[in-house]
Amino acid sequence: MPENRPLPEYISIVTLLGLLLRRLFRYVKYQNPGFGVVSSSIGLVVGVAGSGERSIARIGFSLCGSKAARNSLIRDRETNLPELSSISRKAYWESGNCAESETFSHLRAINLELIRSAVDDIGKIFVSLTLGLRREGADGDVSLRGKQMCSLCHGLGRCLSDELSCPIMDICPSG
């Protein structure tokens, strides 16, 4: 993702990418009906510092594939984001499957870069947005729908927010 862009531009980029991916998934599935391995969501995290002159964004995807493939990818995510293990111990299932898990694994690096390059000391904030790739609305509506964070991702966000002393906001519209 390009750096130092306004939040609406990042949202537009991830929305267009999501629409293109969903269209590609449908085409591949039409060509090969046995094809069923697609990510169900795309996530965006944006770190903004100062009065908005510095921003960094990353995207991520929910995991897909067989249980063994997802478990292998979750182990990779846990290596990059140890908080996933602590959240998993409090839950009945292993966290790391969500798009937020992948985007949140970039927060420490984004935070350090924002601190290093800050022009002023106004502060920083992280925003997160997740969009569903599989759902389509009624009457042929092809727009992507927002997905609020699951309870595990919300807990992970709180944990990281405390660690980084920076708020992490889920900007998904409710409903």
Q: What is the tens place of the pLDDT at every residue in 69-85? A: 888 888 888 888 787 77
Distances (CA, A) of 60 to 14, 112, 147, 165: 10, 19, 14, 23
**What is the per-residue pLDDT for 133?**
83
What's the pLDDT band for 89 if we cut at 50, 70, 90? low
Q: Which pLDDT does position 10 carry in this prediction? A: 96
**Total residues belonging to the chain:** 175
Is the separation of the CB atoms in 44 and 128 below 8 Å? Answer: yes
pLDDT, residue 56, reads: 95
Band the pLDDT of 127: cuts 50, 70, 90.
Answer: very high
- Helix, strand, coil share of the chain (percent; to 5): 45, 20, 35
Residue 137's pLDDT is what? Answer: 54
Burial class (CB in 10 A: 0-12, 13-18, 19+), 121: exposed
Question: Mean pLDDT over all residues of the chain?
Answer: 82
- What number is the average pLDDT over the span 48-77? 85
- pLDDT, residue 92, reads 58
Sign of CA dihedral 70, 128, 138, 31: negative
The model's pTM: 0.84
Could you give the CA distance from residue 61 to residue 44 in angstroms, rounded to a whole number?
A: 9
Pick the closest to residue 159 from 79, 75, 81 (CA basis).
Answer: 81
Query: In angstroms, rounded to a whole number, what is the distance separating the alpha carbons of residues 6 and 9?
Result: 5
| Residue 175 pLDDT greater than 60, yes or no | no
